[in-house]
Structure 1
Amino acid sequence: MTADAPRPPHAPRATTAGGPGLFLTLEGGDGAGKTTQAALLEEWLRAQGREVVRTREPGGTDVGVRIRDIVLHHRGHIAPRAEALLYAADRAHHIETVVQLAIARGDVVIQDRYLDSSVAYQGAGRVLDADDVRELSLWATGGLLPDLTVLLDLDPASARARLDADDKPFDRLEAEKAEFHERVRAAFLTLAAAEPERFLVLDATEPAAVLADRVREAVASRLA
């Protein structure tokens, strides 16, 4: 199988949060609007009287901030396997020290990126084995999967136009070539097709308010 057509991962060998709280993740390429939707969802949940923990990977802890600086802003080459291991290290610490505690308290966790990003970016983007990357993250997190994953799907050309409009320096992943981002997008869609009960796939070109309504519907059904 070619790098442009990543093989589907094996059937999930993992568990959803299962605690009194709820674990929600947002996925998609850079520029898809994850930060906007996370903010709108947090505002809505707090208006419902819910306690919310909003976080991200990498960088959701003090340790994660250091790892984030390495994987996104290091100017030299990082071997693909080393990159995957750094993301997994961040994830292991973040889940144990932030996410699991929040779920146990009954909070709603809204997280920007999780293991699906590693499968897409390091598995497909860096052309590593998708199953190996997934298994690494499952081991790092004790098999934890989100209760809901919102995938904001956007073609790489539109995403690049949005990033250009922001007029900010690109990080290491944002700066990759179009072929890299095409592989990443294809991998995200493959993951979503393999786990339709967990994923909500949305067209990121829709207005932010329309997307927010769709996300709220999905979250409300899980809270119920």
Structure 2
Amino acid sequence: MSGIFISFEGPDGAGKTTALNSLTPKLKALTEQEIVVSREPGGSPIAEKIRKIILDIHDQEMDDRTEALLYAAARRQHLVDVILPTLNADKILLSDRFVDSSIAYQGGGREIGTKEVAEINDFAIDGHLPDLTIYFDISPEVGLSRIRKDHQQAMDRLEKASLDFHKRVHDSYLKLVHDNPDRIVSINADQAPDQVVEDAVNVIIQRFPNVFNGGR
């Protein structure tokens, strides 16, 4: 495969999705390769159906391991339907979340074990990890405060979880950053949105200078 796979991670309220929407046109102006943007859970028709089940606020009785397995199932379908075809076509895939989210949220947040969740997802992704992961770091307190101030966005089932849950998620993300320095780059998400986007774009340019060079 000759394409490039970049994932974007962060706790709830980090502004990851907003930043991704802003940086995508900037990246498109810097390369001749086609850029495809996707998300998890979801990204393809079947995976989007699984997403609705996972995030439904009425499914409060869902078992934690069921949740982890559903995420892995959605990820596998997304990989087969979107990620691999995009990379095989020599395109650039930007994914709003990937495997690190499950390790942090279900493994750490739900306390079912980061090792166990990683093993479930190893089967799902079959060795296909991002070439680069950008982690938007923000404290759980600030992130949740941002979400609660956004009256236009209804909180999903995971966002409604306790502060302790989100602290465990954050701690798990920090461990992933520490354990994967060659793949994961952390940026400070508690900055002005324009600065966060600039930092993320700079990380990508520095990692792939021959691809993002003004389209030359």
Q: Is this a same-fold pair by TM over 0.5?
A: yes
Looking at structure 2, the residues matched to 36 and 54 of structure 1 have their Cα atoms a distance apart, in angstroms, of 13
Residue of structure 2 equivalent to 1:176: 161
Q: Which residue number in structure 1 is paired with residue 41 of structure 2?
A: 58
> Residues 91-170 of structure 1: matches in 2 within 5 Å?
91-167=75-151, 168-170=153-155
Instruction: Show the counterpart of 1:72.
Output: 55
Shift of 1:222: 2.9
Quote the Cα distance in structure 1 between the aligned partners of 2:206 and 2:73: 32
SS of equivalent residue, structure 2 residue 58? coil
Q: Aligned partner of 2:12: which letter?
A: D
Which residue number corresponds to residue 201 of structure 1? 186
2:9 is aligned with 1:24: no
1:79-116 Cα offsets, whole Å, 9 max, x none, are: 01110000000000100110011011111111111110
Identity %: 36
Distance in structure 2 (CA, Å) of the matches to 1:59 and 1:170:
17
Tell me, what secondary structure is at the counterpart of 1:60?
Answer: coil
1:41 deviates by: 2.3
In the superposition, the TM-score normalised over structure 2's length comes to 0.92
Q: Which amino acid aligns with 1:174?
A: E
Which residue of the other structure, out of 21, 33, 45, is the alignment partner of 2:15? 33
State the partner residue of 1:218. Answer: 203
Alignment RMSD (CA, Å): 1.2
Q: State the 4+ residue runs in structure 1 displaced beyond 2 angstroms.
A: 221-224
> Normalising by the residue count of structure 1, what TM-score does the alignment of the two structures yield?
0.88
Alignment of 1:80-91 (within 5 A): 80-91=64-75
- Secondary structure of the structure 2 residue equivalent to 1:25: strand
Which digits, 9 at most, give the CA deviation of each residue in 1:32-69, with x for residues without a partner? 01112211221012112331110000111111111111
Q: Unaligned stretches of 5+ in structure 2?
A: 211-216
Match of residue 3 from structure 1:
none
Q: Where do 5+ consecutive residues of structure 1 fail to align? A: 1-18
Q: Give, in whole Å, the separation in 2 of the partners of 1:132 and 1:222.
A: 31
Partner in structure 1 of residue 214 of structure 2? none
TM-fit CA distance, 1:139: 1.1
Look up the match of 1:11.
none
Shift of 1:74: 4.8
Length, aligned pairs only:
206
